[in-house]
């Protein structure tokens, strides 16, 4: 009899434990997270396009690519350029040109006014650091004002000052190489 009694006691102990565990589980409430304070920073919009100049500026916030601006957009507009022309480290002269920058796509832009007489448009491709390089279609640059001229070089805009551009262009022709340097100011 003692064996039977011990065996039943063990079985009834397991059953009681199981019933208590089920009751404890059933009586628990699911945890509900309490809403926190609103973060005012999340009301700001920021650009989430890695090709944009202002990528992630304003983060944290709400991603909204309508606030993005791209490298070519930064140049768009009209500028007055004071062009200083050099050959063999000697100043050949200076001239003032009115340049019109227009956007082709996110990175590429067209510049009119570099060639006064011919009206040739020169294309540049800009990067996120606002350095625009003259597109090259041949070894020494792209065709310029005359069929024998080619231009290469770059235009630099400061990320902190959108009113000025620095020009560093080299024009190779049948008569030699002329460096064009100077600053352009937004009009």
Q: In the chain, what are the domain boundaries?
A: 39-69, 71-186
Say whether 58 sits in a helix, a strand or coil: coil
| Residue, of 134 and 34, whose pLDDT is higher | 134
pLDDT of residue 137: 65
- The domain over range 71-186 is classified in CATH as 2.40.110.20: no
Q: What is the pLDDT of residues 92-123, one digit of tens each?
A: 999 999 999 999 999 999 999 988 767 788 89
pLDDT (0 to 100) of residue 95 = 92
Distance separating alpha carbons of residues 107 and 127, to the nearest angstrom: 7
Hey, is 66 helix, strand or coil?
A: helix
pLDDT value of residue 173: 87
- Nearest CA to 119 out of 85, 144, 138 is that of 144
Place of tokens 């990067």: 127
pLDDT in tens, 127-162: 989 999 988 766 666 778 887 888 899 999 987 888
The pLDDT, as a whole number, for residue 83 is 93
For 46-90, what is each residue's pLDDT tens digit? 999 999 988 988 888 888 998 998 999 999 999 999 999 999 989
pTM for the model stands at 0.71
């Amino acid at each position: 009899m003692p064996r039977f009694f011990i065996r039943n006691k063990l079985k009834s102990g397991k059953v009681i434990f199981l019933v208590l565990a089920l009751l404890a589980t059933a009586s628990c409430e699911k945890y509900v997270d309490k809403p926190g304070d609103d973060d005012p920073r999340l009301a700001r919009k920021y650009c989430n396009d890695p090709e944009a100049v202002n990528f992630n500026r304003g983060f944290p916030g709400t991603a909204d690519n309508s606030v993005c601006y791209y490298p070519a957009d930064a140049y768009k507009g009209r500028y007055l350029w004071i062009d200083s022309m050099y050959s063999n480290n000697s100043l050949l002269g200076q001239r003032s040109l009115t340049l019109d920058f227009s956007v082709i796509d996110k990175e590429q832009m067209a510049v009119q006014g570099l060639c006064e007489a011919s009206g040739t448009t020169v294309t540049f491709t800009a990067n996120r650091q606002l350095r625009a390089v003259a597109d090259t279609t041949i070894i020494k640059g792209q065709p310029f004002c005359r069929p024998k001229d080619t231009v290469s070089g770059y235009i630099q805009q400061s990320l902190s000052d959108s009113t000025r551009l620095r020009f560093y262009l080299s024009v190779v022709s049948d008569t030699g190489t002329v460096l064009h340097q100077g600053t352009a100011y937004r009009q």
